[in-house]
Structures are given as structure tokens and as C-alpha cells.
Amino acid sequence: MSENPTEQEKNSIPAGLNAETIKELWSKTYNTQGKPDWSHILPFYDDNIYFRDSIQAIHGIKDFTAMTERLTNRSKDLKMNIVNAVMHNNIVFIEWEMTIKFKKNPSSVLYGSSRLTLNEQGKIIEQRDYYDLWGDIFDNIPRFGKAYRRFMIKKFG
């Protein structure tokens, strides 16, 4: 056995997390009688997790856990449909459709994706979520959604 690891060995991740297990875990996270439950998935995050989305950047498992609790408390109903999950080396991409119902508003579907980076121990060290928060929410507001899309096409399309 060689003391110098091959490129394949450098990019290999310990057994446990792969595209299929992540797809299964994420599906369970968001489909528990409408309220998300991260308790089974948080152990797969590194203590030094860096999370970023359209709203915030978070460092560390304590702040990440607090963010998941805020989302749970803020939403009346939350469902996640994992459309696709693929893995290359230590990067996993997930395409998802999240249906969220806030306490006083109709349900909105957010279409997005997440890029997960796994560290040498196979834990998630970085998560970057990509989605159009305002466009997807505005689409569900009568008349306003169409006006918003016309504006976006006129100014940026």
C-alpha cells in the first residue's frame, strides 16, 4: 500500500453521506406533519458549518440550529420535494421544491437548489442555498405576481 494517496482517495468521502442518503434525510426533515424536524440530520453537519442563502450567512452549528428553529416557528406548514440529488467527489447538489405556508398567508412554492460540501470526515461543512425568494412568493399574490414578473422582464429580461 502506498503512503501517498491517489487523487481518487483524496476525493473519497467516508461511507454514510451520498446523494441518495442526503435525498432520503432531506425528505424526512420537511415532511413530518407539516413542521420540519432537523434532529436526525443535524449530526451530519460539522460544528463549523458555513451556511449561506439569499437572506443570511451563518457560521457554526449553534447559529445554524437556531436558524432551523426560527424557520420551524415561523411556518405553519412546510413540505420539501427533492427533485434531484447528484454527487461529484465531495460536492452534493440537490434540486428542491419547498412549499411553505406562513401563519397568515397562502402557501407558496419556492424552487431552489442547495450545494453541500462534505469535509474529510463526511460531514457537511458548507451549504449554499440558491432560490428566488421574492419572485416565488410574489407569484402567489393575485395580480401582484403578474405585475412583478412583467416588471422583471421589462427591466432585466
Can you read off the three cell numbers belonging to residue 64? 445554524
According to CATH, what is the number of the domain 12-132? 3.10.450.50
Position 128 pLDDT exceeds 80: yes
* Residue in 97, 95, 94 with CA at minimum distance from that of residue 22: 94
Q: Report H helices in the chain.
A: 7-11, 19-29, 61-74, 133-138, 144-156
User: For the chain, how many residues are written?
Assistant: 157
Is it the case that residue 9 has pLDDT exceeding 60?
no
- Tens digits of residue pLDDT in 72-102: 777 777 788 899 999 999 999 999 998 877 6
| Grid cell in block for residue 49 | 458549518
**Domain range summary for the chain, segments of one domain joined by +:** 12-132
Query: How far from 5 is each of 12, 17, 87, CA to CA, in Å?
Result: 11, 21, 21
Q: How far apart are CA 130 and CA 108, in angstroms?
A: 16
Q: What percent of the chain has pLDDT over 90?
A: 39
Contact between residue 115 and residue 128 where contact means Cβ atoms under 8 Å apart? yes
123 secondary structure, DSSP code? -
Dig out the grid coordinates for 151 from the structure.
416588471
Using one digit for the tens of pLDDT, what is the confidence trace for 32-56? 566 778 888 999 999 999 999 988 9
Contact indicator for 131, 111 with CB cutoff of 8 Å? yes
Worst-scoring range by mean pLDDT, 4-8, 41-45, 130-134?
Answer: 4-8
pLDDT beyond 60 at 15? no
Report field, pTM of the whole predicted structure over 0.85: no
Look up residue 145 and give its three cell numbers: 405576481
Confidence at residue 98, expressed as pLDDT on a 0 to 100 scale: 85
At 67, the pLDDT band (50, 70, 90 cuts) reads very high
